[in-house]
Amino acid sequence: MSAPLLQVESLAVRLQTAQGERAVVDDLSFAIDAGETLALVGESGSGKSQTALALMGLSARGARLGGRMLFDGEDLLSASAERRRQLRGPAMAMVFQDPMSSLNPYLSVGLQLAEVLETHRGATRGQALAEAECALDAVGLSAPRTRLAQYPHELSGGMRQRVMIAMAMLARPRLLIADEPTTALDPTVQRQILRLLERLRREQRMALLFITHDLGLVAEHCERVLVMYAGQVVESGATAQLLRRPRHPYTAALLNARPGAGTRPGTPLAALPGQPPDPRQMPPGCRFEPRCALRQADCRDPGLLWQSDAQGSRGWRCRHPLASRG
């Protein structure tokens, strides 16, 4: 078997805060093959965006990263800042949740798209604008030539998200990280954007790391899922199997908390009772233990190890009915 496109091994991300250092991602391991779609799900604050930023080399100043991230065999953590810059775009690109935060409000859409091509492919301004127009057409924006001359604030949220995707795609990345790219959009536009990503993935054999709250979108679009809680993966596996038979009580709680039984797109993660743990006082054993309806005394055992089963669930030594269910 060939090596995966991206291999992450025991990634740790620690951020500097006013209260000292804080671990926001801990012992995170996963891999993505070329052309594959992997979903990353979990409640707000579970470390999904910090994982994405670490992959892109865009962690906040002062962040300390540990573990390994191999992109096509290349060790990202030991790469120079210059090398990381080169990789952003043609190797990996990211679409952020809020396109306004990553589009420059003072530059026309056309110039921002053209810049990608001028930087990564040495295109002339004329070539770049022509290709940018094609890209806007490809992401389903009407009147693409008119859009080129417009500024981000003149577009709707859905249009801006499409511009961001066009911008990411112009660099022809081998891995696209989409961080809740559709959360702010209405369900129809969400579906259109997902279909677009799907098509680009097939046509360009692009790998997609799809970060979302929406289990319905996961069910429809992603082959495998990684469930994160409090900076760690609690469970991972093939989507259909994981949604049908969750192993970890956290995954089960997420699924049970959904309004209605379906996994239709537009079904967000419902709030679970209680709060995720304070990163400064992580539970010593299973981090979900304080909120877990199935907890047992030994779930607090700090010696608990990741016990991966066939589905890759973080099994904890506990004898949860779910975790041990065959």
Ligand X SMILES: Nc1ncnc2c1ncn2[C@@H]1O[C@H](COP(=O)(O)OP(=O)(O)O)[C@@H](O)[C@H]1O
What are the residues binding Mg ion (CB under 5 A)?
48-49
State which residue has the least CB distance to Mg ion: 49
Residues that bind ligand X in the complex, under the rule CB under 6 A = 15, 17, 22, 24, 42, 44-50, 60, 279
**Distances, alpha carbon 30 to alpha carbons 6, 51, 295, in Å:** 8, 11, 26
- Judge residue 309's burial from the number of C-beta atoms within 10 Å of its C-beta, 0-12 exposed, 13-18 middle, 19 or more buried: middle
Q: Which does 245 bind (CB under 5 to 8 A by kind): ligand X, Mg ion, none?
A: none
37 binds, among ligand X, Mg ion, none (CB under 5 to 8 A by kind): none
Torsion sign across C-alpha atoms 29, 35, 41, 46:
positive
Q: Supply the minimum distance, in Å, between the C-beta of residue 19 and ligand X.
A: 9
Q: Minimum distance from CB of 264 to ligand X (Å)?
A: 22
**Quick one: 109 or 233, whose CB is closer to ligand X?**
233
Cβ 231 to Mg ion shortest distance, Å: 13
Among Mg ion, ligand X, none, the one that 47 touches (CB under a kind-dependent 5 to 8 A) is: ligand X
Residue placing its CB nearer to Mg ion in the complex, 48 or 147: 48
* Binding partner of 59, given Mg ion, ligand X, none, CB within 5-8 angstroms per partner class: none
**With respect to ligand X, which residue has the nearer C-beta, 130 or 269?**
269
Shortest Å, Cβ 126 to ligand X: 40
Provide the minimum distance between the beta carbon of 4 and ligand X in the complex, in angstroms, as a whole number: 23
Nearer to ligand X, 45 or 266 (CB): 45
**96 neighbors 33 (Cβ within 8 angstroms):** no
Cβ proximity to Mg ion: between 49 and 59 the closer is 49
- Give 98 or 118: the residue with its C-beta nearer to Mg ion: 98
What does 60 interact with, of Mg ion, ligand X, none (CB < 5 to 8 A by kind)? ligand X
To the nearest whole angstrom, how small is the minimum distance from the Cβ of residue 106 to ligand X? 25
Residue 251 interface partner, choices ligand X, Mg ion, none, CB cut-off 5-8 Å depending on type: none
